[in-house]
């Protein structure tokens, strides 16, 4: 099986190690991973803010880059949702839409993997569900099941499905509200060693706020934890 990795603009810049972990993980599962070098940004920031021609330009570019890919796998729920759910509104025949998957979704729904290893034995984690993964892709159980199958305890968190306040440009257009939303998440966090999420934007938001407040909990991308689950290496 061959997949194309769409690292996404945030993943390329801020979560390079996690994206490399995604490559390691997929290769360890006998998946051939390629990285089309012309990939850039999926266009979500423009779409979200209502700038349609710009969003369409970036969508067309991305669709062309992945035109020949059997599967496009993204270590990002909201960018995967952009490709699958929004591209059909922007492009005439976006074949890329139905071939795009968030990483955990791809592992569970396409590769039909139920366990990766036992590399997370004894770990206490909280899982933050990104809104677009949850509501657009309807990815809810897949990441949690993979983490749990590797021995992690996903500690119940009453706000695990509530928005972190990132929301693309919302974070800088209504920063006070955005921060108050992050605070609500942080204030309700259970006693865990790490918070995990499939979404880079959410991680930047929660981690940025936690660091400013001096909350000493790491916020880590799902791809890295899944590789740890598989390899046992932190």
Q: Candidates 67, 114, 175, 193: give the one binding another protein (CB under 8 A).
A: 175
Q: What are phi and psi of 127, to 5 degrees?
A: -115, 125
Q: Candidates 71, 88, 124, 135: give the one binding another protein (CB under 8 A).
A: 135
Q: Is 35 in the site for another protein (CB under 8 A)?
A: yes
What are the b/e assignments for 63-79, b being 16+ CB within 10 Å?
bebbeebebbbbbbbbb
CB burial of residue 231 (10 Å; 0-12, 13-18, 19+): middle
Q: Is 150 in the site for another protein (CB under 8 A)?
A: no
Q: What are phi and psi of 150, to 5 degrees?
A: -95, 10
Closer residue to another protein (CB): 11 or 119: 11
Cβ atoms of 125 and 97 closer than 8 Å: no
Q: Candidates 177, 218, 232, 234: give the one binding another protein (CB under 8 A).
A: 177
Residues in contact with another protein, shown as a per-residue x/- string from 84 to 103 under the rule CB under 8 A: --------------------
Cβ atoms of 130 and 162 closer than 8 Å: no
Interacting residues with another protein (CB under 8 A)? 7, 9, 11-17, 19-20, 23-24, 35, 37-41, 43, 45-46, 48-52, 54, 57-58, 61, 65, 131-132, 135-136, 162-163, 165-182, 184, 204-205, 207-209, 211-212
């Amino acid at each position: 099986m061959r997949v194309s990795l769409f690292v996404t603009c945030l993943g390329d810049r801020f979560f390079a190690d996690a994206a490399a972990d995604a490559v390691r993980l997929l290769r360890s599962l006998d998946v051939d991973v390629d990285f089309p070098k012309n990939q850039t940004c999926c266009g979500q920031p423009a779409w979200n803010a209502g700038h349609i021609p710009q969003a369409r330009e970036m969508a067309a570019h991305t669709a062309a880059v992945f035109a020949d890919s059997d599967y496009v796998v993204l270590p990002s729920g909201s960018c995967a949702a952009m490709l699958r759910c929004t591209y059909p509104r922007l492009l005439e025949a976006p074949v890329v839409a139905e071939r795009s998957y968030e990483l955990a979704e791809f592992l569970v729904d396409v590769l039909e993997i139920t366990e990766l290893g036992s590399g997370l034995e004894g770990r206490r984690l909280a899982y933050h569900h990104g809104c677009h993964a949850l509501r657009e892709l309807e990815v809810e159980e897949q990441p949690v099941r993979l983490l749990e199958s590797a021995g992690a305890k996903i500690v119940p968190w009453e706000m695990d499905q509530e928005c972190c306040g990132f929301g693309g440009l919302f974070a800088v257009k209504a920063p006070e509200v955005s921060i108050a939303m992050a605070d609500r998440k942080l204030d309700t966090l259970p006693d865990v060693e790490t918070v995990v999420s499939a979404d880079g934007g959410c991680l930047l938001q929660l981690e940025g706020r936690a660091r400013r407040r001096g909350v000493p909990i790491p916020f880590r991308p799902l791809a890295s934890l899944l590789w740890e689950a598989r390899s046992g290496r932190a």
